[in-house]
Amino acid sequence: MRMEVNKMARMNMKNGKKVENPGALLKRLMGYIMKHYGAAFIIVLLCILISVVCNVQGTMFMQTLIDNYIVPMLKDGNHDFSGLAHAITRVAGFYAIGVVLTLLYSQIMVNITQGTLRSLRDDLFTHMQDLPIKYFDTHAHGDIMSVYTNDIDTRLLDKKEVTRARFEITVQDAGYYSETSGYVPVKVDDKWKYLNTDGKYLPGEYDQAGSFYNHKAAVLQGEKWFLIDDTGKTVSDSYEDIKLDLYGSYAQGGVILAKKGGSYHIYDLEENQIGDFSCDDIDICIDDGLIAFKQGGKWGYVDTEGNVAVKPQYAGAKSFSDHLAAICDENGHWGFINSKYEQVIGFDYLDAYYFNSDETCMVSAAEGTYQMMRFVFE
């Protein structure tokens, strides 16, 4: 897996801050152009050069008109305009050539521009096919399509957000980049490390590593989970497990879901246990604050304050997202309940994920196949 690490720098136009490393940005853009339209781009440069020379002839002709024609006519009283007509015809020819070349390179640039955008979209589509399913669970279809239709033609040259640093490194896997800490978790040689956009690693190697949130990240070293800060220092007690959300963060819904003493508990972000709730297993917290938990072989739901909302009764369950949650029957089939805990979709699927904000969900209706479905509730 080859990962390109990008650090985005924001430029405040009002404060007059300049783009950092504009040469790298131009090099990146020219790389796309020359890769697919090198010959056409050279033709454009030649057309621009020749058209400029042709246009300069008009300016230079003013001197010729005065020195060679107007002044001699005034002195000699000669009214022979044949030479002047020839000179004007020659300049008009230069102007005509300039106009034709300008039209030509403008048309070629349209093809180069649109073709480069197409190449960017093709590369983006190829990259998106390698993203994990959880990415599509947490991003609405409209937002994903907007990247192709609206964002791709402004991303490289956006005045407020430009590429600051870019390099390539081969890794086995990677997590989510944190702009606040400046680190991304990467797996290299079967160990997880934290890499910044300067290509430097944070001290420490781990068996598993989450993404930074509020300058902290959850890591597994041996059989112990704990939190580190963005200097690599341990800043928490040790746990048997810490649940990470879809983005790899230990903090979800304003709480930490961690295992200590053989049971899972709910902690606030200062690691104070909330209430006396405990369970055998627990899902992640998405956005509705109702978390699926397992106790005595069955699944139910608890809120972030440790209050049990639904007693364990399902063979399987996933946390609420967008006011819906997936539940599983004894046969391993999945359906959905709403925020009133009423079943609104039958046990029609072999597997189901979390709902998106646009009422879509990834489900499996046949062995080994998944599809994104939109459910409309009246």
Instruction: Provide DSSP, 248-273.
Output: S-SEETTEEEEEETTEEEEEETT--B
d(CA 305, CA 316): 22
pLDDT of res. 159: 32
* Tokens standing for residue 328: 């599983």
Q: How many alpha carbons fall within 13 Å on the CB side of residue 52?
A: 6
Q: Could you identify the residue written with the tokens 């609405």?
A: 140
- Contact present, 220 and 206 (Cβ < 8 Å): yes
Q: pLDDT by residue (tens digit) across 173-185?
A: 888 888 888 899 9
d(CA 142, CA 140): 5
Residue type, 89: T
pLDDT by 10-residue block (mean), the chain, 378 residues? 38 41 73 84 90 81 74 70 74 86 89 81 76 67 67 46 49 85 90 90 95 94 95 95 93 93 95 95 89 96 95 95 92 93 92 84 87 74
Q: pLDDT by residue (tens digit) across 236-270?
A: 999 999 999 988 999 988 899 999 999 999 999 99
Phi, psi (degrees; rounded to nearest 5) at 308: -75, 120
pLDDT of res. 165: 40
- Contact present, 267 and 282 (Cβ < 8 Å): no
Kindly give, in sequence order, each residue whose CB lies less than 8 Å from that of residue 17, ignoring residues fewer than 6 positions away.
Answer: 11
pLDDT of res. 370: 87
Of residues 347, 342, 341, the one with CA closest to residue 364 = 347
* Tokens standing for residue 59: 């300016």
Residue type, 275: G
pLDDT of res. 377: 61
First to last CA, the chain: 44
Strand-pair partners of 4: 168
- Cα dihedral angle (93, 94, 100, 103), rounded to 10 degrees? -140
pLDDT of res. 244: 95
- The CATH number of the domain covering residues in 2-151: 1.20.1560.10
pLDDT of res. 78: 65
Query: SS3 of 48, please?
Result: helix
Q: How many residues does the chain have?
A: 378
- Cα dihedral angle (191, 194, 197, 199), rounded to 10 degrees? -50
Structural domain boundaries in the chain: 2-151, 171-278, 283-378
Output the CA–CA distances (angstroms, integers) from residue 232 to 6, 203, 219, 222, in the order listed: 22, 6, 10, 16
Q: pLDDT by residue (tens digit) across 295-318?
A: 999 999 999 999 999 999 999 999
pLDDT of res. 278: 96
DSSP for 77-113?
Answer: -----HHHHHHHHHHHHHHHHHHHHHHHHHHHHHHHH
* Tokens standing for residue 333: 């089939």
* Tokens standing for residue 3: 């990962």
- Contact present, 274 and 255 (Cβ < 8 Å): yes
pLDDT of res. 16: 42
pLDDT of res. 271: 94
Residue type, 145: M
Alpha helices in 16-81 (DSSP H): 22-64, 71-76
pLDDT of res. 141: 67
Strand-pair partners of 361: 355, 373
DSSP state of 199: S
pTM to 2 decimal places: 0.58
d(CA 179, CA 230): 12
Rounded-to-5 percentages of helix, strand, coil across the chain: 30, 35, 35
d(CA 301, CA 325): 10
CATH 2.40.128 fits 171-278, yes or no: yes
Q: How many alpha carbons fall within 13 Å on the CB side of residue 260?
A: 17
